[in-house]
Amino acid sequence: MKKLPKKAGSAGKRKPRSTGEMEQTGSQSPNAKYVLRLYVNGSTLKSTLAAKNIKQVCKQHLNGGYDLEIIDICKQANLARDEQIVAVPTLIKRLPRPLRRLIGDLSDQNKVLFGLDLKIKE
């Protein structure tokens, strides 16, 4: 048997380019950054309540590890069209994956936490 010569660049021994490349991503990582978008319709009662409720959930459960953007569909209708928003208020969780949509005033905190993958359904 002949031994084959080793190749110069072994794929299994590649060094990471940066320290961030070594970090795990996804919903399994305890320090995953949440990217949330809340679509509302002006200052209606349900929209105001949804904004208040999601801010409270973020403050209590995400410890600053989130980006929350509140979008008024009256002022930015093109964004609502691009996301195919059919009801407001609608919360979209973009990251960590999987993408989730929650519709309503977000007053049921257990459902919101479950939808954001922060709580296991009982």
The structural domains of the chain, ordered by start, are 31-115 (3.40.30.10)
Cα pseudo-dihedral 82, 87, 89, 92, rounded to 10: -50
What is the rounded average pLDDT of the residues 19-29?
34
Strand order across the 100-103 sheet? 66-72, 34-40, 90-95, 100-103
Residue in 107, 86, 93, 106 with CA at minimum distance from that of residue 32:
93
At 68-119, the pLDDT tens digits run 999 999 999 999 999 999 999 999 999 999 999 999 999 999 999 999 999 8
Q: Give pTM, 2 decimals.
A: 0.73
Residue 22 pLDDT exceeds 90: no
pLDDT at residue 122, as a whole number = 65
Ranges of H-type helices in 32-108: 45-61, 77-82
Q: How far is CA 81 from CA 72, 73, 76, 84, 85, in A?
A: 12, 9, 9, 5, 6
- Average pLDDT of the residues of the chain: 81
H or E segment to which residue 93 belongs: strand 90-95
